[in-house]
Structures are given as C-alpha cells and as structure tokens.
Copies of this chain bind each other. A is one copy, B any other.
Amino acid sequence: MTTTIADLARALNGRLWGDGSLSVTGAAEAGQAGDGQIALATTPAYAGRLAPGGMALLAEGSDPEALGLKAAILVGRPRLAMAGLTRAFDPGPGIAAGIHPSAVIAPDAEIGADAAIGPFVVIGARVRIGAGARIASHVSIGPDVVIGRDALIHAGARIAHGVTIGDRVILHSGAVIGGDGFSFVTPEKSGVEEIRETLGERRQIHQQHWTRIHSLGGVELGDDVEVGANSTLDRGTIRATRIGRGTKIDSQVQVGHNVVVGEDCLLCGLVGIAGSSRIGNRVVLGGQVGVSDNIFVGDDVIAGGATKIFTNAPAGRVLLGSPAVKMETHVEATKNIRRLPRLYAQVAELRETVKKLMEKDGRD
C-alpha cells in the first residue's frame, strides 16, 4: 500500500508534523528505514537511533524538529497507533480471489459472495460460508459448519463437523476446531475418581479398560475471535464448547470439552484449560498457564506465565505460582523460601543458646 503521511496521520488519529505530501510505502524500526518507510520511534531510546531526513512515528512530547525529520506523526498512545499502522501495510497471506478449481466442495454448501477458496480445500455437506470469507489452501471443513462474514482461515486449519464460527474470526494454520473431547470412563470407579474423593488414598488397584464418551456438542466461536497456529479447541460432550466474542487465543493453546471462555479474553501460548471449566470475561492467562477441569475463573482475572490454577478464582484477582495464589502472596512466598537458609541458621543458633540456658538453669 502507498499513502501520504498526511493521510496516514489521519488514519491513526495522530498529529502530522512537517511535509504531509511525502509518500509512505511501509514501516521499519528506527535506524532501519529505507526510502518511503516510516520509522517507529515511540520511546526516547528508539528516537535516538533515527537517521535525520526521514519520517517517523513518535510519541507526543517528542521533538521532530530536533530529530531532524522531514515529517512525523505524533500519537498519544503509540501501541494503539501501531495497530493502525501495521494494518495499513499488512499484505496478508495472499489468498487469490475466487474458488480454486481443485477445491472439493459439497454441492449443497453455500459459499457467500466474494469468498475466496484456495487450492485443495475440502468443504462438507450443508456448510455455509459468509460473504468475503477467505479460506486458504488445504483447509478442511466438516459437514454442517457455519462460518461468518469476512472470516480468515489460514492454510491447513481443521474445522470439524457442526462447528459455528462468527464474523471476522481468524484461524491460523494448523488450528483444530472441534476435535473430540478427551473423555473416558471405566466400568467400575477408576483410580482417578478414587483419589479425588480420598485425597490421595487408594485401596485396591483394578485393571480396567477405558470406554470412550463421544462428543456430540460442537464448538461455537463468537465474532472477532482469533485462534493461533496449532491450537486445539475440543468439541463439547452434549452442548457446545464456547469462546466469547473478541477473545484472542495464541498458538498451541488447548481448550478442553465443554469449556466456556468469556469475551475479550487473552489466552497466551501453550495455555491448557481442562474440560468443563468456565473462564469469565476479560481474563488474561499468560504463557503455559494451566486451568484444572470443572472450575471457575472469574471476570478480569490475570494469571502470570506458568501459573497453575487448581481451584476457583474470584473476579479481578491477579494470580501467580503453582498452585496459583494472589500475586503478592506468591512474591512473599518466593522471598520466604529464599530466606530459609538464614532461618535454619537462626533456629540452630537459638537451639544452641537455649540448650545452654537450660543447662545453666539446671545447674542454678
């Protein structure tokens, strides 16, 4: 895309400084910008690397004149401006318009206007795909799937039968939506059921095989959901597994059967949520966080990286550690563990002293 820096400033809700007629063809880091590229220099450290004579995106309060720029866009919240800027110059995955002749599409599937379907795509019976949706190569879509308008499905994503996907949803490569839940049962009570009741005690160990509980529920993704590469969202047992509108899921996240995730959440890479748990709205789970099955995580909970949540978490709580506790409790616990060598020494010394006092006392 090519634009003038004046137009770009308007699009970013920024303030233009300098020559608004300059053409912008792309963006680069400060010190890396070539001809036509606008440099990103939203902190003083980055601004220090700017070459004079160029264009830059700056935080309000910066002095483009002192930096020797020809033109600049000044913004109040640089990270927000980055969103607009990167959207403007993203070439996208390059999915050709129209339906590739190699695609295998069920006769009764409905493909919306202007939808693009790539090579080797398979679309099952009774599928409905919204207008403007883009389906990249090698995607498979099972029977009875519904996909909303302007969805973007990257190469090799897998959508199983009966899944419902909202408008503007993005699925990255290798994402699997609607695989069967991991749900098995033994004829008699299993060891896991037993230790959940006894908190670790086991009587006799039985030899038993696992029988499969099939997954009849589907998966429902709200509008504006994004699912990262190779993430897996399992279908529900009876009702659907559900991801609320606006929730963003990173790569390699596993969401178990029957899970309900609220709206506007962020689930970072390698997060695992076990079956039937419920996650509130605006919850943020850092990388490698784990959530046990059948628990509730309240609205606005934020869990730092590698936090393991075994029990219900009240709304608004900031969690860390394994098992998860309040951030301040975790920080104190870590400090207390680090100070243990001193404590051991103090107690040893105390015992010695008290022993002497006792001996003395005995002699008195």
CB atoms of A341 and B346 under 8 A apart: no
In the complex the two chains form, is A172's CB within 8 Å of B180's CB? yes
The quantity of this chain's copies bound in the complex is: 3
B246, B302, B333: the one within 8 Å of A340 (CB): B333
Within 8 Å of chain B (Cβ to Cβ): is A54?
Answer: no
Query: Which B residues are in CB contact (< 8 Å) with A207?
Result: 264, 281-282
Q: A148 at interface (Cβ–Cβ under 8 A)?
A: no
A340 to B329 Cα, complex, angstroms: 11
Check if A305 is an interface residue, CB within 8 A of chain B: yes
Q: Residue A336 at the B interface, CB < 8 A?
A: yes
Q: Does A155 contact B (CB under 8 A)?
A: yes
| Nearest-neighbor residue (CB-CB) of A118 within chain B | B122
Task: Name the interface residues of A67-84: CB closer than 8 Å to any CB of B.
Answer: 77, 79-80, 82-83
In the assembly, what is the distance between CA of A327 and CA of B102, in Å?
A: 55
List B contacts of A146 (CB < 8 A): none
Contact (Cβ within 8 A) A232 B229: yes
Knowing A232-B230, A268-B274, A343-B347, say if A86 contacts B237 (CB, 8 Å). Answer: yes
Q: Which of A31-89 contact B (CB under 8 A)?
A: 32, 40, 77, 79-80, 82-83, 86-87, 89
Stretch at the interface among A2-10, A16-24, A108-116, A355-363: A355-363
Q: Is A278 an interface residue (CB 8 A)?
A: no
> A27's closest neighbor in chain B, by CB?
B238
Residues 162 to 213 of chain A near chain B (Cβ within 8 Å):
162, 170, 172-174, 176, 179-180, 182, 184-188, 191-192, 195, 199-200, 202, 205, 207-213
On whether the beta carbons of A248 and B82 are closer than 8 Å, the reply is no
CA distance A170 to B256 in the complex (A): 18
A154 in the interface (beta carbon within 8 A): yes
Q: Is A312 engaged at the interface, CB distance under 8 Å to the other chain?
A: no
- Asked, given contacts A122-B119, A195-B327, whether A182 binds B268 with beta carbons under 8 Å apart, the answer is yes
Interface size class of A (residues with CB under 8 A): 35 or more
**Chain B contacts of A272 at CB under 8 A?**
252, 269-270, 287-288
Docked-complex contact A341 and B332, CB < 8 angstroms: yes
Bound: A160/B89 CA distance, A: 16
Q: Which of B29, B305, B343 interacts with A238 by CB under 8 Å?
A: B29
Could you pull out 5 A-B pairs where Cβ atoms are within 8 angstroms?
A120-B120, A172-B176, A182-B248, A287-B290, A347-B350
Q: Contacts A179-B229, A207-B281, A230-B232 known; list 15 others, CB within 8 Å.
A: A32-B239, A80-B211, A94-B142, A94-B143, A138-B156, A182-B250, A191-B282, A200-B326, A209-B246, A210-B246, A234-B251, A269-B274, A306-B308, A323-B334, A336-B341
A residues apposed to B, CB below 8 Å: 26-29, 32, 40, 77, 79-80, 82-83, 86-87, 89-94, 100, 102, 104, 118-120, 122, 124-125, 136-138, 140, 142-143, 154-156, 158, 160-162, 170, 172-174, 176, 179-180, 182, 184-188, 191-192, 195, 199-200, 202, 205, 207-216, 224, 226, 228-230, 232, 234, 237-239, 246, 248, 250-252, 254, 256, 264, 266, 268-270, 272, 274, 281-282, 284, 287-288, 290, 292, 299-300, 302, 305-306, 308, 310, 316, 318, 322-323, 326-329, 331-334, 336-341, 343-344, 346-347, 350-351, 353-354, 357-358, 360-361
